[in-house]
């Protein structure tokens, strides 16, 4: 990465742009050069170079006339699960081959409205199903720090694009950790907002009661600036909340003393990498030294978090993916001789192995003989876990735990062992089950120089304090 030209920060670029100083086209060209120079990382599946350069000129002119939006100068990549009008969308799957989006996702529309510049779609695990971005029709994404390592998933392309200075910020999707986990692997900030904080309109659905659009960035400020724009109610998505959107960028100075809990089960987990444990404990001591009250707590039903998540998300995924049949759009098998054969062959050839596995598991869970014992019971356990977590958050301001039990692993080392991949989500699925906001921040490196992430969980719709506290921790760790 030493040969790659770092981007000017969005904050500095935005201020300069308002003063009429920089040429935004130069920064776009810098991004495009970084993308081209690092094609081997496989972060992008489609790049909109000519379009981005044209938009840069328009935004530059608006800035000179003092009409530019709040995000003028911000160069954004979007995961290949978010609709961008008149552009292809595949969810990194063969089954959506040839599909052109007729709409903008609401989050994308809001970015464009405030003069953010979309530079391309980014690689991901097929339909957001994976923890390494190796389940993609476009091939795996490589970590820019060590190209023999994975980038994390499912928003791995989005993470690497920010990590490798191909864009300022990326929008990813987080169902059970797909923004936070690659953020940890790549040394970034990864924010999953409260469920309902952002609209899901125009996002390819994986598991609808878990899916959230999140933000990957190099700075807390960039996360805050983007969240201010994309958050809020949406008439196209009835699950969005009417809760007011804070002015997040003005609330990042965190001075109060807090009550913080860390999960003992997470720290004591036998599969936790020693360097991650030691870095997490060091952060805990730093918080204590700066005047915060920090203590270990036990979360009831800890051992049921991961199975509950996979039972429910597989069931929802099998229902959501039933619409992809080759009849109305996307790939259709050319050799099928009748309708039934067309369905079977299209879905067999169009879906990858991991997606097929989860569809089959979801169908099994939803069968009449297993619906009560598996799906309904998992829903009940989800409620118990949520209640326990929210009760904890009524006594503590924040909960901290590692983002993931290990740093980035080797490419292809877990592709034939699905359970190893699933266990990678043991820490991130908790916030997803409860629908509360969570963020991953970088707190150090392991012995191989790979980033370590700390996860912080906050109360619903308290993203302002979550962002401010995260910035406070990062500054305290540097002091």
**Residue 81 and residue 121: Cα distance in Å, rounded?**
9
Confidence check: pLDDT of 362 > 70 = yes
What would the pLDDT profile of 247-293 be if each residue is shown by its tens digit? 999 999 999 999 999 999 999 999 999 999 999 999 999 999 999 99
**Residue 255 and residue 257: Cα distance in Å, rounded?**
7
- Which residues partner with 47 through β-bridges? 120
What's the total number of domains in the chain?
A: 1
Q: Which residue has better confidence, 421 or 404?
A: 404
pTM above 0.95, yes or no: yes
**Residue 317 and residue 141: Cα distance in Å, rounded?**
23
What would the pLDDT profile of 157-207 be if each residue is shown by its tens digit? 999 999 999 999 999 999 999 999 999 999 999 999 999 999 999 999 999
pLDDT band at 1, cuts 50/70/90? very low
Q: Is the distance from CB of 213 to CB of 82 less than 8 angstroms?
A: yes
Nearest partner of 402 among 258, 225, 230, 268, judged by Cα:
268
> What is the pLDDT at residue 15?
87
Q: What is the average per-residue pLDDT within 415-430? A: 92
Helix (H, G, I), strand (E, B) or coil at 419: helix
What would the pLDDT profile of 100-151 be if each residue is shown by its tens digit? 999 999 999 999 999 999 999 999 999 999 999 999 999 999 999 999 999 9
Nearest partner of 407 among 125, 124, 182, judged by Cα:
182
CATH number at residue 140: 3.90.1300.10
Confidence check: pLDDT of 36 > 50 = yes
% of the chain exceeding 70 in pLDDT: 99
What would the pLDDT profile of 197-234 be if each residue is shown by its tens digit? 999 999 999 999 999 999 999 999 999 999 999 999 99
**Residue 412 and residue 432: Cα distance in Å, rounded?**
27
Q: What is the average per-residue pLDDT within 83-91? A: 98
- DSSP class per residue in 88-137: B--TT-GGGTT-B-SS--HHHHHHHHTT-EEEEEE--SGGG--SSS-S-T
Look up the domain containing 227 and give its range.
1-479
- Helix, strand, coil proportions of the chain in percent (round to 5)? 45, 15, 40
Strand 259-263, strand 293-297: pairing: parallel
Characterize 431-458 residue by residue with b for buried, 16 or more Cβ atoms within 10 angstroms of its Cβ, and e for exposed: bbbbbbbbbbbbbbebeeebbbbbbbbb
% of the chain exceeding 90 in pLDDT: 92
Distinct helix (H) and strand (E) counts, the chain? 16, 11
Supply the residues annotated as catalytic: 79, 154, 178
> What is the pLDDT at residue 463?
98
pLDDT band at 3, cuts 50/70/90? low
**Residue 214 and residue 376: Cα distance in Å, rounded?**
28
Q: Is the distance from CB of 31 to CB of 192 less than 8 angstroms?
A: no
What number of CA atoms fall less than 13 Å from residue 393's CA on the CB side?
A: 24
């Amino acid at each position: 990465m030493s040969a790659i030209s770092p981007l000017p920060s969005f904050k500095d670029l935005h201020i300069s742009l308002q003063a009429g100083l920089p040429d935004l086209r130069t920064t776009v060209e810098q991004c495009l050069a970084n993308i081209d120079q690092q094609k081997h990382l496989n972060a992008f599946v489609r790049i909109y170079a000519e379009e981005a350069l044209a938009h840069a000129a328009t935004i530059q002119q608006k800035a000179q006339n003092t009409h530019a939006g709040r995000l003028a100068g911000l160069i954004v990549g979007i995961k290949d699960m978010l609709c961008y009008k008149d552009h292809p969308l595949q969810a990194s799957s063969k089954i959506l081959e040839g599909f052109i989006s007729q709409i903008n996702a609401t989050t994308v529309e809001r970015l464009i409205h405030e003069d953010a510049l979309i530079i391309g779609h980014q690689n991901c695990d097929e339909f957001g199903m994976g923890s390494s971005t190796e389940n993609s029709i476009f091939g795996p994404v490589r970590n820019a720090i060590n190209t023999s390592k994975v980038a994390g998933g499912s928003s791995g392309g989005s993470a690497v694009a920010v990590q490798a200075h191909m864009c300022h910020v990326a929008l990813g999707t987080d169902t059970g950790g797909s923004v936070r986990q690659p953020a940890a692997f790549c040394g970034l900030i990864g924010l999953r907002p409260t469920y309902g904080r952002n609209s899901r309109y125009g996002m390819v659905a994986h598991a609808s009661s878990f899916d959230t659009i999140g933000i990957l960035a190099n700075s807390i400020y960039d996360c805050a600036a983007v969240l201010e724009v994309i958050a809020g109610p949406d008439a196209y998505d009835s699950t969005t909340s009417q809760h007011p959107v804070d002015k997040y960028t003005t609330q990042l100075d965190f001075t109060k003393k807090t009550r913080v809990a860390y999960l003992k089960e997470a720290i004591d987990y036998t599969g936790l990498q020693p360097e991650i444990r030691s870095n997490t404990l060091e952060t805990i001591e730093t918080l204590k030294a700066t005047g915060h009250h920090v203590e270990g707590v036990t979360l009831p039903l800890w051992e049921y978090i991961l199975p509950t998540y996979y039972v429910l998300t597989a069931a929802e995924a099998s229902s959501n993916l039933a619409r992809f049949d080759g009849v109305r759009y996307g790939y259709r098998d050319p050799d099928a001789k009748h309708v039934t054969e067309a369905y079977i062959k299209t879905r067999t050839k169009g879906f990858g192995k991991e997606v097929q596995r989860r569809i089959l598991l979801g169908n099994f869970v939803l069968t009449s003989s297993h619906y009560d014992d598996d799906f309904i019971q998992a829903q009940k356990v989800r409620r118990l876990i949520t209640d326990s977590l929210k009760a904890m958050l009524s006594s503590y301001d924040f909960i901290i735990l590692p983002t993931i039990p290990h740093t980035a692993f080797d490419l292809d080392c877990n592709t034939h062992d699905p359970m190893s991949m699933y266990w990678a989500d043991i820490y991130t699925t908790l916030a997803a089950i409860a629908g509360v906001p969570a963020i991953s921040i970088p707190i150090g490196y392991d012995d191989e120089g790979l980033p370590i992430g700390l996860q912080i969980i906050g109360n619903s719709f308290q993203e302002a304090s979550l962002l401010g506290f995260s910035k406070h921790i990062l500054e305290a760790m540097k002091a």
